[in-house]
Amino acid sequence: MFGRSIYVPDNPAWVGGSPQSINEQLWAQGRRRRLQIRGGMAAAALIVGTWLFSLPWGLLAAIVVAAADTLWRWRERASSSVWRKGMRGERRTARILRTLVEWRGFHVLHGRNIPGRGQIDHLVVGGTGVMLIQNEAVPPDTQLAEYRGKLYIDERSGAKVATELRETAEEAAEMLRERLGREVPVEPVKVVYGGDLQRGLVSAEGVTLLRAHRLPRWLRNRRVRYTPEQIAEIYEAASTLPISRQALFVR
């Protein structure tokens, strides 16, 4: 809407403010509707459960349905919390890597810089390979999906995003090759906060996009490539990458 309408009352949520503040106001405005839907679902479960079994079973079904809807709404809200706070997710991913990954034999470098490519948020070195991890928070309605091997963002090609991430990983691999004298592949990964990510994980055009909570298992469940000695050697070489100024804020 480019101008005011004399037929439709103004919605204050759309007047000024950032996309985050608009999202907050629209979420608050939808609270009554969400509660009505939850109550209707619980009432339907109560009726069906009572008719099929008994009143106690009906009450249990109503509680389960209401709890499930509450959990689903909470996860929907939590997935966009980083974006709503104007963050990209570096700190949250760093905490996940420290608490759920490092003690399993993985080594993690935070906030390193690759000359000519800029900062990389995290570089993970472990038995299952070397992964370059970047973070990005997107609006809740952003759709990210794979179709026939191609990455799509809101039905538009995501080739530019994939290419930039892939080229950054290739630069990191080249720097490791110079230090070690052999090829060490670096896999590009993007942790996505918010948005609608197809099945929670998308792999397309040589990059992987996934939710933060899926990152630890994804790292662990891959094919083992390196011995502990090789891991230590690669990590030592990777540690020579210059530290970015933002590293102080990530740790």
**How far is the C-alpha of 101 from the C-alpha of 87, rounded, in Å?**
22
130 and 176 Cβ atoms separated by less than 8 Å: yes
Please check the confidence at residue 9 and state whether its pLDDT lies above 90: no
Please check the confidence at residue 185 and state whether its pLDDT lies above 50: yes
Give every CB contact of residue 3 below 8 A, 6+ residues apart in sequence.
none
The predicted pLDDT at position 24 comes to 61
The predicted pLDDT at position 10 comes to 44
Q: Quickly state the pLDDT bin for 3 (edges 50, 70, 90).
A: very low
Please check the confidence at residue 213 and state whether its pLDDT lies above 60: yes
The predicted pLDDT at position 75 comes to 73
Q: What is the pLDDT of residues 92-131, one digit of tens each?
A: 899 999 999 999 989 999 989 888 778 899 999 999 999 9
What mean pLDDT is reported for the chain?
A: 84
**How far is the C-alpha of 189 from the C-alpha of 165, rounded, in Å?**
8
The DSSP secondary-structure symbol of 186 reads E
Q: Residue ranges per domain, the chain?
A: 12-78, 87-250
CA 171 to chain centre: 23
Please check the confidence at residue 13 and state whether its pLDDT lies above 60: no
